[in-house]
């Protein structure tokens, strides 16, 4: 997940690619359940940039761990970097009613099974 920074689209895409290449173990496990429309036929993207503000300084964005455009769902796996952006996520996604947000704190693969079965 990215911090709120004012940047251009090339820099944002580069940051997203870097995060995809350096995925955590939890992200890799969940991605195996979500990729290639494996979850109820819905397409998920990982480390997807969501731009929520653009002005003269540049683009303000957030990188969602996983994102489904069809259902407007963001899935965020818990980790230390998420603590600093939790409030921003709640304001942007929950209160503005643009997306449903799922926060998931998983340390073991077995904890994903109930989630992906829903």
The reply to whether 1 falls in a domain is no
Strand partners, 68: 73
Q: How, if at all, do strands 100-104 and 73-77 pair?
A: parallel
Task: Return the number of other C-beta atoms located less than 10 Å from residue 66's C-beta.
Answer: 23
Predicted TM-score (pTM) of this structure: 0.71
Whose CA is closest to 102, among 80, 71, 81, 59? 71
* Residue for token pair 């820099």: 11
What is the number of domains present in the chain?
1
Domain span at residue 36 reads 6-117
Whose CA is closest to 15, among 57, 59, 56, 72? 59
The reply to whether 96 falls in a domain is yes
Name 103's Cβ contacts closer than 8 Å, sequence gap at least 6: 76, 78, 82
Quote the pLDDT of residue 92: 62
pLDDT tens for the chain, 118 residues: list them. 444 445 788 988 999 999 999 998 888 989 999 999 999 999 999 999 887 766 667 777 778 899 999 988 888 886 655 555 665 666 565 555 666 667 666 654 445 554 554 4
């Amino acid at each position: 997940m990215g911090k709120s920074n004012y940047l251009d689209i090339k820099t944002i895409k580069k940051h997203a690619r870097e995060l995809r290449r350096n995925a955590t173990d939890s992200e890799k496990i969940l991605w195996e359940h979500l990729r290639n429309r494996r979850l109820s036929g819905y397409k998920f993207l990982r480390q997807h940039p969501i731009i929520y503000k653009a002005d003269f300084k540049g683009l303000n964005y957030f990188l969602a761990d996983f994102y489904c455009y069809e259902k407007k769902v963001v899935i965020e796996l818990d980790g230390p970097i998420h603590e600093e952006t939790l409030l921003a996520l709640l304001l942007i996604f929950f209160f503005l009613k643009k997306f449903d947000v799922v926060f998931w704190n998983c340390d073991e693969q077995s904890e994903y099974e109930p989630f992906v079965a829903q």
